[in-house]
Chains A and B, each alone.
Chain A
Amino acid sequence: MPAPSLNLQPNFHEEGKRYFRAFTPGDDFYEALIETHRDLSDEQSAIVNAKLVLLLSNHIGDLAVLKEAMAIARKDAT
């Protein structure tokens, strides 16, 4: 079995939901993400984002995948 690598293809979906338009699952996610920050101050949002990264990182677990994501996220930042 090849080592799992970071999935960079569209991958959003929801159990039991049928999509007729390709853009819908990604838009569902994006709205939920922005909604998570509704009415928060910038400082509160930064904490929420940090917690989100930690939660999702633990869910993924595989450090090879996480390091790949970290490298892409950091690219062009400096």
Chain B
Amino acid sequence: MLSTYQYPRYDYVLPPELSGAAPKRYPVVVVGAGPVGLAAAIDLAQSGVPVVVLDDDNTVSVGSRGVCYAKRTLEVLDRLGLGQACVDKGVSWNVGRTFLQEEEVYHFNLLPQADHQRPGMINLQQYYLEEYEIRRARELPNIDLRFCSKVTSVEPQGDGAVVQVEMPDGSYTLQTDWLIVADGARSSIRRMMNLEIDGKVFQDRFLIADVVMKADFPLERWFWFDPPFHRGQSVLLHRQADHVYRIDFQLGWQADPEEEKKPENVIPRIRAMLGDDRPFELEWVSVYTFQCRRMNDFAHGRVLFVGDAAHQVSPFGARGANSGIQDTDNLCWKLKLVIEGRAPASLLDSYAAERECAADENILNSTRSTDFITPKSKTSLVFRNAVLDLARDHAFARALVNSGRLSVPTILTESALNTPDAETFAGDMVPGAPLDDAPVRANGQDSWLLRQLGGRFAVLVIANAALDAAATDALHQLAQHPLAPEVVLVTAPGVTHTTPWRVLEDSAGRVAERLDARHGTCYLLRPDQHVAARMRHADAKRLLNALARATANPEVEAR
């Protein structure tokens, strides 16, 4: 088979434990250098927390595997310093089309709104994402990347965990205050700790073929129910980087995975789809089944589970790697505050609660997609086909066509960290929502709102004129808080301020529009850019209490 990608080999270095150094205790160890473990390591390290990463391999993902990275994930990757590399290499898209036989019955646009920096989705082979993450990790002096390092036992303790590591040169013991487990769907640490993961297995098999070809398919996701080239089953087509196309063929439960993987069986399927004359080469083939399941608790004392180790979904909707990276976005700022003693350990309960809720939403949506794509009973199939038939002519039925509800971030409306609104706001930027992006000007340069925020608490204040004395005083009090939230003013174009605070110009008016904001409105934002609280007028007591609540600290009295 052809290879468009050269797999890097990362050399391992002998760790101090095997070079005679005295045993050392580490603040954080991450197990697993996949897309999720590396995101956690980069996030912590760039905020000043040293991290050791253990991985049993010495290269990136073998095969393209996870190929769809959603807008919210790109925004997180931007904060980690690698969003642009992914977007530059990947294929950006927003439109998905669903066909019944040869006819289009439904299409969706992931990003119907203008003025967002990132597209609804990019397609990029997982090995590129991991390569960029490793490159970024190596720029950070406080990440200790240990390849060829297999964890053979984990012993959780009240104040951390003891980890046994096996390398080609020998074994050693490592002690850590916190252990982040990102070792994937078949997590060996989950098994070592005898932790259950419950859910359901779907009785269907899918063939993935990565095909290299010159083709002029539009940059869209195409999904077929019952196409003429693959009768009675579904097919999904995505374009990735380097002229590689990902094709998923539904095979049914009876298919023999080993037989189906053979090029002599794969090639005719692709030939039938493309027509006879187009040249192509196979790059990678795999047959998969899947399950939707999650652990009951993502946090076990000082052992924290993220990504596929904690939860798995069907691939329809690209909710796997995307939700894993969002786990780390949620976890890392909380862990940093706890490590630094600026928040109680109970803040991490909110990691588990918020991301368990997100996992449930992802499992619900991907299960529904799977049930639509692979109906389990004759009646279910009849309903599915009736929906597809009606979808040709009727809008209500198009809304029911479910070929995958693609990854969007969970709005954490039930989070204990939120301060409920006391005033009325329109729109979706409720407490718990990740902030919408919008164009801004910063220091006279065009930029984006989300690029200007994140990594620390911020209070965004709409100031279309001078703020009154009470608001100014409240913001000064907030800025002096030990958690050091940054005050950022947002002004209408042309308004100038004399202020010690950073000023962003709402160059297209989208910030005010999307936040339903008017002069004086302020939003308290978490380091992961989720809304913690909002109010029409900056009030010291309300802001300080909202900040306390968002960090699981006791509420305070304003002076």
Contact = CB atoms under 8 A, between A and B. Distances in A.
B372 A30 contact: yes
A30 B400 contact: yes
B383 A33 contact: yes
B378 A34 contact: no
A34 B383 contact: yes
Contacts of A8: 394-396
B420 to A, nearest CB: 14
Contacts of A78: none
B380 A37 contact: yes
A36 to B, nearest CB: 9
Contact of B405 (A11, A27, A34, A42): A27
B428 interface: yes
Given A20-B428, A27-B402, A45 B365 contact: no
A15 interface: no
Nearest to A39: B377
B487 to A, nearest CB: 29
7 contacts: A8-B394, A9-B395, A23-B399, A34-B383, A49-B379, A72-B390, A72-B394
Interface of B: 365, 368, 371-372, 377-380, 383, 387, 389-390, 393-396, 399-400, 402, 405, 408, 411, 428, 433
A30 B377 contact: no
A55 B164 CA distance: 64
Given A31-B368, A34-B383, A40-B379, A10 B399 contact: yes
A72 B428 CA distance: 36
A59 interface: no
Contacts of A33: 383
B121 to A, nearest CB: 15
Contact of B411 (A20, A30, A45): A20
A26 B400 CA distance: 6
Given A9-B396, A11-B396, A21-B408, A76 B379 contact: no
Among all A-B residue pairs, the 7 with the closest Cβ atoms: A45-B379, A10-B399, A8-B394, A26-B399, A37-B379, A26-B400, A10-B396
Contact of B368 (A7, A27, A42, A72): A27
Given A9-B395, A27-B405, A72-B394, 19 more contacts: A8-B395, A10-B396, A20-B411, A20-B428, A20-B433, A26-B396, A26-B399, A27-B368, A30-B383, A30-B387, A30-B400, A30-B402, A31-B371, A33-B383, A34-B380, A37-B377, A42-B378, A45-B379, A49-B379
A22 B380 CA distance: 23
A21 B433 CA distance: 13
A72 B395 CA distance: 13
